Structure 1
């Protein structure tokens, strides 16, 4: 594509000879439109836009009609029950793979493409302001990224609702969200995921500026996201986990509990925004200091280390310290009393649903008085940490029944606090069997369910 930005002249310059007119910089708005046209004119950007607006709908519709569901993905087990589970499954995949790759493709290449084509001098002659060039390129890449994100969420939501229906959604603690409430929380979860997406985009801008035509600049957001994902799988202290800018890709699940777990989510958003601002500022300063008269001055490993890696490493250290001081959670944040309270709450929410589906007498959560006693391996008191060796015994009471009911669950708790509870008897309570629901047969709701331990939750009460 060839495009030019014509220099602008004020009306009072009319009649002044060209040789004495002062050159004027092109406005940011005109530069932004120019850069946006350049981006969307690339065939790979057009292809990605089409994929983001179509592929999630097809994926959700296809998976929702399958006999087996992605139960290892958050809300995957509910894709037969409601169309609002689909966009949440897409969000889980997007936060792990799609969004880091998209930010690499757009923001990670927006400056490096000029290095590869050798067009910096032409662009500077046309715009006459490095500051406005940076602003125009940053805004154009942000616009394209927002367009891709909007496509992912809208496509996933439309595909899910059309394929399955606008039905209520079971939350992470077993409570039932109405269709309207589920829809609002789905879109809010995607909005929260914008914060870490912006952080990755800013890292992409920084890599594109510092590394020039080197392919490492293009891959930097994806590599940073991969490193953060690997870190989240480790048994890190809570302060370190929350200080990573990608944590908001995980903490949105706190929106889907009866009492929203907003603490980790808000911290993750603030941390991501801080990273986005700092990385963008570093990229801006480095861009203004660049010598555009030197065609070989497009990358410097030493400059990338001193001006890019070290400041971000320092930011991470400061963020960890601030989060550690501002929060009270210690260690992993996964503690026995929190696990017990979470399992008991989920069971109390799901039991009345099962009773209704089996046409049994109605019972309320208050009447059940459900409680849980959990152990981890051989540790019966003070157990903590992630692992697949958690075992919980849930107890409850039914009206006019003297005996106390009990059910056993095996838990696999991940380091970020999410767990899957697998029923281990008695079979008539939490075994596998089908129940009749308004939308057809479905597995016993007490057989397996997803839950979430709030890492910053209090251990009192």
Structure 2
């Protein structure tokens, strides 16, 4: 008996479309910037610095307000008891000599050298990011910290001084009386003039951070250079050199408090600050791009 097996006709099965390949999107500069900001927020040094900027002016105003003597050796020190607008200008003048360079270098002087200290350059470069992205993200993060610290310091100084001392009229640098309504925007403008040279000091700190590869040197060297610039600025006979120093624009707010306001030093100071910023960042960028960091 013969059994005949009938095979079913072959039917073409529909082919399933291949799953689309996942395209891995490379992180951009904004992503790297968020990393850097997250790292700054996690650092106790950054948080404590902002806390000091918030609390220290209040303590300074309270101490001087409770003393009979005034710091007459600093501009607007004599008026610190008679007008709440004098305190912010006094701290602005004092801060430009000592505090501002430290604030600029605190993060910027360490932000690149810290990678050398911990040997993490190869690690961050394996995240599909370029050296250019890392450079600009770190530069933006350091600049943002400098500007935020300045805003916090200015706001705390102005508000605490006005609340504790009062809103009495201010005596200008030419002896004229400045009403409260006029003094307030002038004080704000005076503090705003410090932002451009602060960005310049940040760029200088970034350059030294890249060049020295040492966090301590990156933070201390800009402060030492600022002191040297101030010393040079006090010497006579070198007025032309003094105009191109990065510390000179920090005094450009004086023209705003004169009876007949003059803006020449302010305009020239902005140009000087921009020049320092551009040259320092260009040198730092080229140095980082050419560096051999395969060893760490």
Output the TM-score relative to the length of structure 1: 0.58
Q: Which residue of 1 aligns with 2:21?
A: 16
Residues 379-418 of structure 1 mapped to structure 2, 5 A cutoff: none
Q: Which residue of 1 aligns with 2:171?
A: 170
Residues 59-458 of structure 1 mapped to structure 2, 5 A cutoff: 59-213=60-214, 215-295=216-296
Deviation, 1:294, is 2.5
Deviation, 1:39, is 1.1
Deviation, 1:169, is 0.4
Tell me the secondary structure at the aligned position of residue 69 of structure 1. Answer: coil
Query: Which protein has the bigger strand share?
Result: 1
Deviation, 1:101, is 1.0
Deviation, 1:176, is 0.8
Deviation, 1:50, is 0.3
Query: Which protein has the bigger helix share?
Result: 2
Decide whether the 8 Å contact of 1:248 with 1:268 is kept in 2: yes
Give the distance between the partners of 1:236 and 1:245, measured in 2 at CA. Answer: 18
Give the distance between the partners of 1:87 and 1:15, measured in 2 at CA. Answer: 62
The one of the two structures with greater contact order (alpha-carbon pairs below 8 A, sep at least 6) is: 2
Tell me the secondary structure at the aligned position of residue 126 of structure 2. Answer: helix
Decide whether the 8 Å contact of 1:246 with 1:272 is kept in 2: no
Tell me the secondary structure at the aligned position of residue 45 of structure 1. Answer: helix
Deviation, 1:236, is 3.1
Change (3 A) 1:170 1:127: farther
Ranges of 4+ aligned residues in structure 1 off by more than 4 Å = none
Output the TM-score relative to the length of structure 2: 0.90
Decide whether the 8 Å contact of 1:25 with 1:129 is kept in 2: no
Q: Which residue of 2 aligns with 1:27?
A: 28
Give the distance between the partners of 2:154 and 2:97, measured in 1 at CA. Answer: 15
Structure of higher CA gyration radius:
2
Decide whether the 8 Å contact of 1:112 with 1:209 is kept in 2: yes
Change (3 A) 1:214 1:148: closer
Deviation, 1:55, is 0.8
Structure 1 gap ranges (5+): 1-13, 296-461
Provide the alpha-carbon RMSD of the alignment.
1.5
Decide whether the 8 Å contact of 1:58 with 1:159 is kept in 2: no
